[in-house]
Structure 1
């Protein structure tokens, strides 16, 4: 239970940070609404790369807080990138291509389905 609270607290901070980036970019880049998401995804990938690259041991509570909580709350894209990196590092290129393709194309398809289901009336 303690680990869940640690991840949840990190997630709260990460989510609040993501929303703060959204507010800042919405003010300065109103004509490019995707800018905040792009910044969050790239920064999140950098942070999770630094953390998992040796700064911390991911099995301890600090790792749970920073990686699963903070980065997970900030952007799940960072976790997607880390999973992809692990597949590439392990030489599982076909699995990486499938994972990345299904994640991106499949995500867009199910988002479209959800949008359609809610707006078909």
Structure 2
């Protein structure tokens, strides 16, 4: 009698009670680790560069954020083009470390910009415009609502406690 088939990505306990994770699940976990490492590196780069640019240009406008978003958009575009090139054999782990991790941690604006370019290149200018409009309008609305949320919670807390 043969053992029941298990999907390779399943978590299971072997005969002696050791927890095991199948090969694809290990690869998926490793991929998450690469993205997390890239994200941490991108965030550290963004933080340090933003501080330096603010001391260089002042804070009348958020030049650090503006320049980082532009640089991140340029970087993710260059990397995406490189990875899509004919014969690109860049491993998925490297692509995800750089695109989702490093660029995502450096700036999420770069992902938004790449997705908008993808829509334009796919001949979808209306969807690209909708992506821009919704992202900017809803992003600003979400920031405004988030900004107001602590005050609203404090007001409700005072009312309930009174």
Normalising to structure 2: TM-score of the pair?
0.70
Name the CA distance, whole Å, in 2 between partners of 1:28 and 1:111: 27
- Report the Cα offset of residue 32 of structure 1: 2.6
1:107 aligned residue: 139
1:49 aligned residue: 77
2:127 aligned residue: 95
Aligned: 1:20 with 2:51: no
- Report the Cα offset of residue 59 of structure 1: 6.6
* Bigger Rg over Cα: 2
For residue 32 of structure 1, give the secondary structure of its aligned residue in structure 2. coil
- Report the Cα offset of residue 33 of structure 1: 4.6
CA spacing shift, 1:112–1:25, aligned 2, 3 Å: same
For residue 104 of structure 1, give the secondary structure of its aligned residue in structure 2. helix
CA deviation profile, 1:7-53 (whole Å, cap 9, x unmatched) = 00000110000001111012122233501001110100110111001
Normalising to structure 1: TM-score of the pair?
0.92
Is contact 1:71–1:78 with CA below 8 Å preserved after alignment? yes
Aligned: 1:119 with 2:156: no
Q: Give the number of the structure whose residues are more often helix, by fraction.
A: 1
> What's the C-alpha RMSD, in Å, of the aligned pairs?
1.7
Between the two structures, name the one with larger relative contact order (CA 8 Å, sep ≥ 6): 1
- Gaps of at least 5 residues in structure 2 are 1-28, 156-162
Aligned: 1:70 with 2:102: yes
Is contact 1:26–1:33 with CA below 8 Å preserved after alignment? no
